Amino acid sequence: MNSRFELRNHRQEQHYFRLRLGVAGVVMLICFGILAARFVHLQLLRYDYYHTLAENNRISLVPIAPTRGLIMDRNGVVLAHNFFAYTLEITPAKVKDLEQTINDIATLVEVSPSDRKRFKKLREQSHEFESIPLRMQLSETEAARFAVSRYRFPGVEIRSRLFRHYPQGPLGAHLIGYIGRINDSDQQSLKKSGEFPNYLGSDHIGKSGVEQFYERTLHGITGTQQVETDADGHAVRVLSSTAPVAGDNLVLSIDSKLQDIAEKAFGVRRGALVALDPNTGQVLAYVSMPTFDPNLFVNGIDPDSWKALNESLDKPLINRPLRGIYPPGSTFKPFVALAGLEAGRREPPFSISDPGFYKLAGSSHRYRDWKPGGHGIVDMRKAITVSCDTFFYGLAHELGIERMSDFIGHFSFGKKTGIDLTGELGGLLPTPAWKKKRFKQPWYPGETLIVGIGQGYTLTTPMQLAQATAILANNGIAYRPRLVSGIQPGGSGKLRPVTPEVLDRIKLDPKHVELVKLGMMDVTQPGGTASSVGAGAPYLIAAKTGTAQVVGIKQNEKYNEKNVAERHRDHALFIAYAPAESPKIALAVIVENGGHGGSAAGPIARQVMDYYLLGKEPPAPPPEASPNAAPPAEEETDAHD
């Protein structure tokens, strides 16, 4: 009975157990069902999403920087090129003790104090996870020495990089410009213009000169490599790649020999020279003195060199032809003359008798001529030749400021010439409206007289003066000034010439142009203000001298250059074109604080024209004339102004 009960009990118990087990089994199936549903959700319904995530994990796009285009002069002389070199770079975010690391590196590879300073400066301008160069251009031995100890320096790497180099050094630095590391503001403007993706592999961008203006042409197209990477970011294999397209080469119209002669002709003097081909607008020489070595800037300039350049009184970093603004002085007169002739004034045989001053009706103020006692009987041609102030005072007064400024504006005064460089200034061609806006004052008649001789408010850049001269030489046809004459696409190698662009054809009476030109030709003849410049030249030079006042001279005070501090002396200006009958070169020269245009700026122009037209090089290197020294004795024969 007992066993029966136990058996029954046992069965009941087993039955109950199985019930519970069944419940557990159902729970288990539900749980596995949940898992299965989750798998379906992840692997079927959201497959695309997770597939993309996995692909993003594994595939990274590595940009391959293109080779930057070369810059050459008109004869194929290389002005900017690239070369491979090793750099030692540090990613600050990956380095614990930066100072110590650099000290340790210095035991293997030379690290100069200026390297350290430059690194410090670059670091302030960069993000912590950017790779910043500490040393450039490591020798093979240095690279090898470091490579052996590399394991000791996490976050420090040797890289082979393309470097930009300017083999001519300071020659034409302002026109060639330079590239520099891409900074935050570059990055922002690249993002704005949508070009940023093309710069993912690039560290550098054009910062000035042709390098900046032709950045898009020179840069090329960045290639990409699809690389499979592991979780640590190490590349496992290359999946696919698109080759970069090298940037286009630029051929400049500059003749580097001519450029060199022009720069040397300045010696230690400050100033600018622009030489153009009046028939095409091509720039033949573009000088800003003093100049500097653009190679300093490529990988970040070290603070000492920067300080020296930036704080120099000579301001070598100013791009004088483009951004230096000077009163045109008497070089303005041929254009005032033309304005007068076109307005029907002063046509031959009109002449005046010059007493050496001009007086406005109803005023006792004497507007003096530069030559006390005057020039005697003066007609239009002679007025230009001798630079007669009295003649132009009268003409300016008769024309009035608005008519004069309006006409002269056609010769690119008061507006940009449109040369292929960034940062050009437009100068200033004053009008009563401008004065009212600027000073809230009316225009006084006397101011018109001053403008008529190129002084007063009028300001021009050397670039504008050269362009105006070229337009005049070309009888009113204005070409856009161009530094680049041809573009050689990175791949094909076939040179595409840049066609000259006519900006304007000024309607001028050929008779009037001829008259002004005759006056300018006489300038370099005996009796002209620059007779020494034309002396012995086998071709005819048309020119005009000019002097721009730096410090105002009071009435009745005589300008005495010996008593004036060097930097307060007048600027010497000179414009010219030659050969006068069929001009091939037109130029403008400014020598800052040089004194007289004919004696200080004229000889520089002559050397440039001699080389360009005759292939004649200056006999000996020009004497290292101190800017304080008086002009050479033989040029004393030149008339004042």
Partner 1 sequence: MPTIRFMFKQLGKHFDQFLMGVLMLTMTVALLVLFSASGQSMDRMSAQMVNIIAGLAALWVFANIPPQHLQRIAVPLYLLGMVLLIGVFFFGDVSKGARRWLDLGVARIQPSELMKIAVPMMLAWYFDRRDQSLRFSDYIVAAILLMLPLGLVLKQPDLGTSLLIGASGFYVLFLAGLSWRLMGGLALGAAAAAPFLWNMLHDYQRRRIEILLDPTQDPLGAGYHTIQATIALGSGGLSGKGWLNGTQSQLDFLPERHTDFIFAVFGEEFGLVGNLLLLLLFAIIIGRGMMIAANGQNAFCRLLAGSIALTFFTYAFVNMGMVSGILPVVGVPLPLISYGGTSLVTLMIGFGILMSIQTHKKLVTS
Q: Which residues sit at the interface with partner 1, rule CB under 8 A?
A: 9, 13-14, 16-18, 20-21, 24-25, 28-29, 31-32, 34-36, 38-40, 42-44, 46-47, 49-51, 53-55, 57-58, 228-232, 236
Q: How far is the CB of 41 from partner 1 (least distance, A)?
A: 9
Asked if 223 and 199 touch (Cβ cutoff 8 Å), the reply is: no
Name residue 353's amino acid: S
Q: Residue 153 CB, nearest distance to partner 1 (Å)? A: 24
Residue 190's H or E segment, with its range, is: helix 184-193
Nearer to partner 1, 52 or 312 (CB): 52
Distant-in-sequence, close-in-space partners of 84: CB < 8 Å, separation ≥ 6 = 160, 161, 162, 163
Least separation in angstroms between residue 132's CB and partner 1 is 25
67 vs 229 by CB, closer to partner 1: 229
For the four alpha carbons of 262, 541, 573 and 279, in that order, the dihedral sign comes to negative
Output phi, psi for 147, to 5 deg: -55, -35
Q: Which of 126, 202, 253, 330 is catalytic?
A: 330
Which tokens belong to 591? 């020598």
CB 357 within 8 A of CB 390: yes
CB of 35 to partner 1, least distance (A): 5
Q: How far is the CB of 172 from partner 1 (least distance, A)?
A: 51
Q: Which two tokens stand for residue 564?
A: 């004036």
33 or 167: CB nearest partner 1: 33
Residue 142 Ramachandran class (φ > 0 left, ψ -120 to 50 alpha, else beta): alpha
Smallest gap, in angstroms, from Cβ of residue 228 to partner 1?
7
Strand partners, 223: 64
- Give the nearer residue to partner 1 in terms of CB position, either 41 or 216: 41
- Give the helix/strand (H/E) hosting 99: helix 98-106
Residues in CB range of 364: below 8 A, 6 or more apart: none
Tokens at residue 236, please? 């496992």
In the complex, the smallest distance separating the C-beta of residue 56 from partner 1, rounded to whole angstroms, is: 9
Q: Of 49 and 444, which CB lies nearer to partner 1 in the complex structure?
A: 49
Count, residues in the chain = 641
The answer for residues whose C-beta is within 8 angstroms of residue 622's C-beta and 6 or more apart is 264, 265, 267
Indicate the SS3 state at residue 283: strand
Bridge partners of 162?
A: 84
Kindly state the tokens that stand for 539.
């071709």
Would you call 312 a catalytic residue per the annotation? no
Nearest residue to 131 (alpha-carbon basis) of 325, 322, 299 = 299
Q: Which residues are catalytic?
A: 330
